[in-house]
Amino acid sequence: MGGGMTIVERTQVFLLPDLGEGLSEAEIVEWRVAVGDVVTVDQSVVEVETAKAVVDVPCPYAGRVVTLHGAAGEVRPVGQPLITIAPLDGGDEPAGHATYREEERAGSGNVLIGYGTGHGTATRRRRRPRLAVAPEPADAGPTGGTGAAAGAVSRDPAAPSAALVISPIVRRLAREHGVDLDTVRGTGPGGVIRRADVEAALTAPAARLAAVPDPQVGSAPAGDGDVIVALTGVRKVIADKLSRSRREIPEVTIWVDVDATGLLETRAAINAATPDAPVSILALLARICLSGLRRFPQLNARVDTEAQRIVQSAGVHLGIAAQTDRGLLVPVMRDAQRLTTAELAAELAATTAAARAGTLPPARLTGGTFTLNNYGVFGVDGSTPIINHPEAALLGIGRIVDKPWVVDGQLAVRKVTQLSLTFDHRVCDGGVAGGFLRHVADCVERPALLIAAV
């Protein structure tokens, strides 16, 4: 018994770390190791999905894996045990370590908890298949059939046509959008269905299925043809954050129409001079915002309600609202005021691309102090956006269109856009907010003013 106690005392338990501001849990996507494996310091041991991103989690301990706390598809709270490691004591490798099943050979090569490596120490309960309503053929009558199980996780030899799905994220995505996995062609090794395969199937009308009404969702029963979408993941985080913003922040929106002809001409001149480093309109607007925030730092702030104080940030951590397949994300460019205009343009392009690809770490999606939102890409002129809590302000840009405009007393056709500023009335009054918006508008109309201010 004394020896057993010694082993327990020597083990080190790695707790699920805080993966980003406001994230209290993460779902295990795939274990990179199995019980009995030897790991090194900072080796990635598990892939998890938070409400904001899919990330690999490195282990700070070296040794042999004793316990994996949780199975693929299970949600673990931050601060709870994730993996237990015991120091190496010269023992032999466990028997059967090189034995893999079909699911592992077909996957990425990483082992999922419960699929086994011959250790026999970890098990996974198979989920019951979830049936989805099959699409009704064009010549079908009022009754229709049902699709095959969408929740299968391995190929059954007795049913070779069953969908081969390893990732619980893929199963959940298919379930939420009503995609019959048996109709999806897997492009992964061995025919494994990946997330990209499900997303591609969403664009095919034949693959769209009506979601199964869940009587436990909501207080009112679902009617015929109603689509039930679970408020989970990114959608839930967005809903919670926007609701909190509206509850806590007394926001005000002001706006102004501006002649952006000069800004477009300036961009064209810059790009003609530096064709290898093109600058976008959004990058120029970001530069103008940075100039405005230097003049009006009251808007580069947040309200600490617990301490009853306003905190003005020393650096501008500029958030860029980006629409992605996973929802509206606001990736942050830290200390954006230190970047040149060309660097801003390059960082903007890289950041938005990474956000849409889902490769940004959670830390890049938090900590902003001011947000820039180009909703003009959706073909709209104006908006009264909700502030990205706990920030104090957000500048929105509408579409740039030809409109009649008076120039030097003469009517002309100019490139016109609408700028809107939503601000927290607790951090400043209308004079500061109006001064900032007017500075931005003046720089858009006369970019020479921006050069004079930098």
Active site amino acids:
425
Distance separating alpha carbons of residues 4 and 244, to the nearest angstrom = 50
What DSSP letter does each residue of 364-385 carry, written as one string? GGS--SEEEEEGGGGT-S---P
Distance separating alpha carbons of residues 137 and 226, to the nearest angstrom = 19
- Which of 374, 365, 355 has its CA nearest to residue 280? 374
Distance separating alpha carbons of residues 243 and 229, to the nearest angstrom = 18
Strands 370-374 and 393-397: parallel
Distance separating alpha carbons of residues 92 and 197, to the nearest angstrom = 41
Distance separating alpha carbons of residues 282 and 320, to the nearest angstrom = 9
Residues 6+ apart with CB under 8 A from 128: 151
- Is cis: bond before 390, omega within 30 of 0? yes
Distance separating alpha carbons of residues 174 and 206, to the nearest angstrom = 14
- Which of 320, 323, 321 has its CA nearest to residue 334? 320
